[in-house]
Structure 1
Amino acid sequence: MALNFNQYATEGYTFLKDYAKEMNMSNDQDKAGRIFIAIMHALRDILPTEESLHLIAQLPMFPKAVYVNRWS
């Protein structure tokens, strides 16, 4: 399977743009991104490992990457 990082970057940017719009933060995508990261990491901290693995298996690449970033 070839990895297309440009496609993932484009999809991530689109996801964040749409998320910021849904949060009524279209003018502050950085803040919306920080909120999204905080939510994903808080969720990760409360879910057992097995449930986390089931969850990330269903996520697109960008939310999956945010979820697993610095996960130990």
Structure 2
Amino acid sequence: MTHTTISSFTQAAQQAQQWVNELAADLNWSEPRAYHLFRSVLHALRDWLSPEEVADLSAQLPVLVRGVFFEGWQPQESPVWDRKKEDFILRIGRDFEHDMLHDADTAIAAVFRLLDRHISPGEILQVRNSMKKSLRQLWPAH
């Protein structure tokens, strides 16, 4: 039983690292900076979605990524009332105040592409459709 548990932790860490590595490669960024962006976008996305959609999306995230996704979540404050693209980008930008994010649209779109590659098309469609049209435009086209 212990071996399975240790193996599960190892697999969860490897899967999370793979996602961060993919994002770093997509953006030609360092892994720490890619993780910072990934975490920031996950938190903003989580706060823009209804609690029901948060639960549905989280069910498809790797265990360790799911922990990052829920870190600090306050469901009573979700979804954010004013969910415009500009506000989403400002939210991400605040997380990068000491490490200027020069092209937020491209960076955010890279995280959305990563999710698009790893989450079922049906769930991605639900997430996309729950967002304002302007923010939806950052998701990969289907």
TM class by shorter chain equals 0.7 to 0.9
Report the equivalent of 2:51. 49
Higher mean Cα deviation, 29-38 or 2-11?
2-11
Unaligned runs of 5+ in 2: 75-142
| Number of residue pairs the alignment of both structures matches | 70
The alignment status of 1:69 with 2:83, answered yes or no, reads no
Deviations 1:39-71 (A, max 9, x none): 000011111101100111122223322211122
1:18 to 15, 22, 25: 22
Question: Which structure's CA Rg is the greater one?
Answer: 2
User: CA RMSD of the aligned region, Å?
Assistant: 1.8
Which letter does structure 2 place at the counterpart of 1:60? P
Higher mean Cα deviation, 58-67 or 14-23?
58-67
- Contact persistence 2:12–2:62 (CA under 8 A): no
The alignment status of 1:5 with 2:9, answered yes or no, reads yes
Deviations 1:12-50 (A, max 9, x none): 11221111111221xx11111101111000011111101
Could you state the TM-score of these two structures normalised by the residue count of structure 1?
0.81
Unaligned runs of 5+ in 1: none
Could you state the TM-score of these two structures normalised by the residue count of structure 2?
0.45
Which letter does structure 2 place at the counterpart of 1:21? A
